[in-house]
A and B are shown apart, each in its own frame.
Chain A
Amino acid sequence: MLKLLASALAIAIGGIGPALAIGLIGSKAMEGIGRNPEAAGKLLVPMLLGMAFAEAIAIYALVVALIIQFVL
């Protein structure tokens, strides 16, 4: 029962930071496109790269949750 709680909390709390980070990255990208609509193509790839890095932290939390649930 404690194992269930631990793995659920690991991914739930671990997802808060990356969610905020991805939202901020997206909002800055939207702002940049709003100021300069032609730059949309140039902004796409760096934005996706930044989002992949931010999402990686959530993936670390997910891996810990999976380890707690299935291995320990």
Chain B
Amino acid sequence: MISVAAEPIFYIAGWLPVTNSMINAWIGIAVFLIVGLIVRKRASLAPRGFLNLVDYTIEMLLIKAEEIVGDRERTRKFFPICASLFLFILLSNWMGLLPGIGSIGIWEMEGTERILVPIFRPVTSDLNFTLAIAIFSVVAAHIFGMISLGFVAYASKFVNFRGIWRAFKHGPMAVVVALVEFCVGLLEIISEFAKVLSLSLRLFGNIFAGEVLLTVMYSLVSFVVPLPFMFLELLVGVIQATVFAMLTLVFMKSMSDSHVEEHS
């Protein structure tokens, strides 16, 4: 009925598959390109109409981001990535509710039965995409950490030789504490992979489960009954986009915080 993996629709040059979620991704990119070009051409200090809406959105996002990070200059550095993630994920999630996404398709034979392969599918319901942006977010957070702290201070968050070296001055108890902190630092490396996994699976699971739910609802009762579920999907789309972008912002902030020295 619904497959977990995105189905290829056609092949470029005979071997490169283009899946239905990629088609949606291109549509999303095209929408943002067009909006970006319009805003750039007609930008002014007293915007009206559509530009006013864009201005308001960006300002709201900037204020929310500043509440989390605390410091306006760092917020400006992190803001482009996090806000772009938020807006793109939000658009992709909401596009899954439009009529035609998931229902317009090609009939294909799979084994012995005839199934419908949809031409459009929300791009965040494809694990490839969510894994890609999760890896991108975590790597971006690390790169920001490296840039703002310098390589040695950044590396000593994970492999803390410097703490052990310094603790020799303070006596044996401090050396034991420093050894424990060293092992904790190594465990942090594992938790980075857990971050990638949890970011990608959370977004994928929510949106894919919403797609399955809506498909089942439409096939049961096509008319008034799916409305509460579509409202739920609107809400879930906003919440998941917010959680992803906020977590990325928090990771970037915590990576570029200097390591807090705890002994007095």
Contacts and interface: CB of A to CB of B under 8 A. Distances in A.
Given A66-B4, A67-B4, A71-B4, A49 B246 contact: yes
B202 A52 contact: yes
Interface residues of A, number: 15
Interface stretch (B87-95, B183-191, B236-244): B236-244
A45 B138 CA distance: 22
Interface in A41-67: 45, 48-49, 52-53, 55-56, 59-60, 62-63, 66-67
B209 A59 contact: yes
B181 to A, nearest CB: 26
B243 A59 contact: no
B206 interface: yes
A4 to B, nearest CB: 15
Interface string B220-242: 00000000000000000001101
B243 A62 contact: no
Contact of B201 (A48, A49, A60): A60
Contacts of B206: 55, 59
B205 interface: yes
B198 A56 contact: yes
B204 A52 contact: no
B246 A63 contact: no
Interface residues of B, number: 16
B196 to A, nearest CB: 13
A59 B4 contact: no
A60 B205 contact: yes
Nearest to B250: A49
B264 interface: no
Interface of A: 45, 48-49, 52-53, 55-56, 59-60, 62-63, 66-67, 70-71
Given A52-B240, A60-B201, A70-B3, 17 more contacts: A45-B64, A48-B239, A49-B243, A52-B202, A52-B243, A53-B243, A55-B206, A56-B198, A56-B201, A56-B202, A56-B205, A59-B202, A59-B209, A60-B205, A62-B205, A62-B209, A66-B4
12 contacts: A45-B64, A48-B239, A52-B202, A52-B240, A52-B243, A55-B206, A59-B206, A62-B205, A62-B209, A63-B204, A63-B205, A71-B4
